[in-house]
Amino acid sequence: MTDKLTPGRDAVRRKGWLGAHRWLILRRLSQAVFLGIFLLGPWAGIWWVKGDLAGSMTFDVLPLTDPLILLQGMVAGHWPELTALTGALIVLAVYALVGGRVYCSWVCPVNPVTDAAHWLHARLGLPKGWQPKASTRLWLLGTVLAVSALTGTIAWELVNPVTMLQRGIVFGMTAGWALIGAVFLFDLLLARRGWCGRLCPVGAFYGLVGQKSVLRVSAANRAACDDCMDCFAVCPEMAVITPALRGTTAETPLILSPDCTNCGRCIDVCAQDVFRFTHRFDAHPAPGRADPTPSPARQRRAA
């Protein structure tokens, strides 16, 4: 058992600091790259990519469009030009294939903000606070589409911190920073992991897109799990681990929940190397633990 304040300490001891932070570092790099390619233009005059996360044009040929924004526009009553439609279809196809919420942990600029809030939250030992159901974000997604249809506007973009932060960094912003600060404080003081994990309709949307996506984390070596709970401590969507990790031999070790953001942090912090990235068709046998913990849920199911 490790100290809950520093999950992954065993992993650092066994794999070294780099080994225990590999996916985290790659993820931060990815986030930096996705921001950086948009900043090459305004900062260095290299216009490979123009626009922002809502819509962009790469090398003057590849259009990319945020499909949720376009969808709001469509329910608001505007049928977009072909360029935007093509861009949205490309984005949809990529995330449907690779993993919907890969957007959340590898691209979204708000992720470092809420991760920082969570880090500080753990450091300060603050209470969990308000914990609405994870399904709240689906309700909010529905609300956003309903408001778009009723007002005839792309409603969520008026306040969406995701695009606002990225647009603010790329195009400049002042008042918008207050909203980003609000998200940070919300996660820090009001609801632990509240924004990304429970409310953000963008994450909800990409979760739906990635229902059947290919890239998956697997608890392939789950027999080696020593119940240190570090993976649960770092996972932003704790509920997704249990079925895979605690499953019996007959049950799949793949984390198939669309809520999983494929952040890979569980792989990093596991000293036993239980987890790894694989694809959803991976049928390698992964025996469950010899002595599965009899959880109340399983007992109920058995009854």
Partner 1 sequence: MAPRRPAPPIDRRRFLTDAARAAAGCAVAGSLLALYARDARALPAEALRPPGALDEPDFLAACIRCGLCVRDCPYDTLSLADLGEGAATGTPFFTARQIPCEMCDDIPCVKACPTGALDPALTDIDDAKMGVAVLVDQENCLNALGLRCDVCYRVCPAIDKAITLDRMHNERSGHHAIFLPTVHAEHCTGCGKCEQACVLPEATIKVLPIRLARGKAAEHYRLGWEEMERKGGPVVEGIIDLPDRLPEEAPDFAPLMKLPGTGQ
Kindly list the residues in this chain that would bind partner 1 in the complex (CB under 8 A): 41, 47, 50-52, 54-57, 63, 65-66, 69-70, 73, 76-78, 80-81, 83-84, 87, 132-133, 135-136, 139-140, 142-144, 146-148, 150-159, 163-164, 167-168, 170-176, 178-179, 300, 303
Q: Which long-range contacts (CB under 8 A, 24 or more apart) does 133-138 make?
A: 133/198, 134/197, 134/198, 134/237, 134/239, 134/259, 136/198, 136/199, 137/198, 137/199, 137/200, 137/201, 137/203, 137/204, 137/207, 138/204, 138/208
Minimum Å gap between C-beta 181 and partner 1 is 12
What are the phi and psi torsion angles at 90 (to 5°)? -60, -50
Q: Please state, in angstroms and rounded to a whole number, the distance separating the CA atoms of residues 204 and 261.
A: 11
Nearer to partner 1, 47 or 119 (CB): 47
Minimum Å gap between C-beta 162 and partner 1 is 12
Q: Please state, in angstroms and rounded to a whole number, the distance separating the CA atoms of residues 146 and 140.
A: 10
Nearer to partner 1, 57 or 122 (CB): 57
How wide is the angle at C-alpha 214 spanned by C-alphas 12 and 218, nearest 5°?
35
Nearer to partner 1, 72 or 272 (CB): 72
Nearer to partner 1, 7 or 63 (CB): 63
Minimum Å gap between C-beta 71 and partner 1 is 11
How wide is the angle at C-alpha 296 spanned by C-alphas 292 and 300, nearest 5°?
105
Nearer to partner 1, 1 or 178 (CB): 178
Minimum Å gap between C-beta 107 and partner 1 is 16
Minimum Å gap between C-beta 141 and partner 1 is 10
